[in-house]
Amino acid sequence: MSNVGENIKFFRKRLGMTQQEFADRLDIKRSLVGAYEEGRADPRITNLVKISSVFNLKIDDLVEIEFNKMSAIELDRFMEEGGYKKFKILTVSVDKDNRENIELIPQKAAAGYMNGYADPEFIQELPRFRLPFLPESGTFRAFEIAGDSMLPIKSGTIVIGSYVEHPGEIKNGDTYVLVTRSEGIVFKRVFNYIDEKGKIYLVSDNRSFAPFELEQDEIIELWEAKAYISIDLTDPNLESSGLSLTELSAMVNELKDEVTRIKKGNR
């Protein structure tokens, strides 16, 4: 049972349970859970049955497979292929008052998030914050957007998304951050054709970018955009008005000169 201890520790953490909470669930002592996880003891068959039930795993898989050596994507695929879809649990961090944080995924952490989104230790290392105007009941995550496909929301903008449990809940035409197997992390306007074709269609607000489709199975996580944070205060209507920043600056300078002439004429 060499893999059992590591697997117990791995899945207990994925469930967000302490050793004591897990022990209470099994009706055993916390010290025994510690002994299992450290390899100092193997569970008896009765406890092994209870453990596999809590994790919704087959006993053979719990004993034989090294789950902690799988990437998050490999683990999700294994769970789906093995019929373990209900196990999908979102990993979150909480503050000292047990309130969920908003974790920030900066552009430089996007690649790491693809493999670490289910790892509590990775999530704990991410920058995190809270916003008082968001509902207490939701789970939120913030993603730094790369590229100009969703102009006027520019590259570097922080988009805050609310977790969506199932792609079937997608509202046609709304914007979402999607964590996907083949495209990475993308921010798009989404159209739901899952019932008809098993696919979703992703459309950019910047028409220079062509729409594309994804199979439902490509979606790892789905976040409905609720707000965004940007330090770029450029007026998005400038381009539509035909004025460039250079032209706007020239207009301001002309206005300053006119004010100066008026002041001189009134002396």
Average pLDDT over residues 17-26: 88
Q: Quick one: how far is CA 156 from the chain centroid?
A: 16
DSSP track, 199-247: EEEEE-SSTTSPPEEEEGGGEEEEEEEEEEE-S----TTHHHHT--HHH
Could you name the CATH architecture of 102-229?
Answer: Ribbon (2.10)
Residue 104 is predicted with a pLDDT of 96
For 185, list phi and psi in degrees, rounded to 5: -95, 120
69-80 confidence digits (pLDDT tens): 887 667 777 877
Question: pLDDT at position 178, please?
Answer: 95
One CATH from 1.20.272.10, 3.30.930.10, 1.25.40.10, 1.10.260.40 for 4-69 = 1.10.260.40
| 153-176 mean pLDDT | 91
Inter-residue contact 105 to 80 (CB < 8 Å): no
pLDDT > 70? residue 237: no
Closest alpha carbon to 162 in 221, 226, 89, 93? 226
What 3-state class would DSSP assign to 73?
helix
**Least-confidence region, from 95-99, 113-117, 173-177, 189-193:** 95-99
pLDDT given at position 155: 93
Percent of the chain with pLDDT over 70: 82
Tokens in use for 24? 């209470």
Same CATH topology for 4-69 and 102-229?
no
Residue of 32, 63, 80, 56 lying closest to 181 (CA atoms): 80
Q: What is the DSSP letter of 55?
A: H
- Where do the domains of the chain lie? 4-69, 102-229, 243-267
Residue 239: C-alpha distances to residues 152, 194, 248, 250 (Å): 10, 36, 11, 16
User: 117 or 129: which carries more pLDDT confidence?
Assistant: 129
Q: Are 10 and 22 in contact (CB under 8 A)?
A: no
CA distance linking residue 61 with residue 169, whole number of Å: 32
- Mean pLDDT, rounded, of the chain: 83
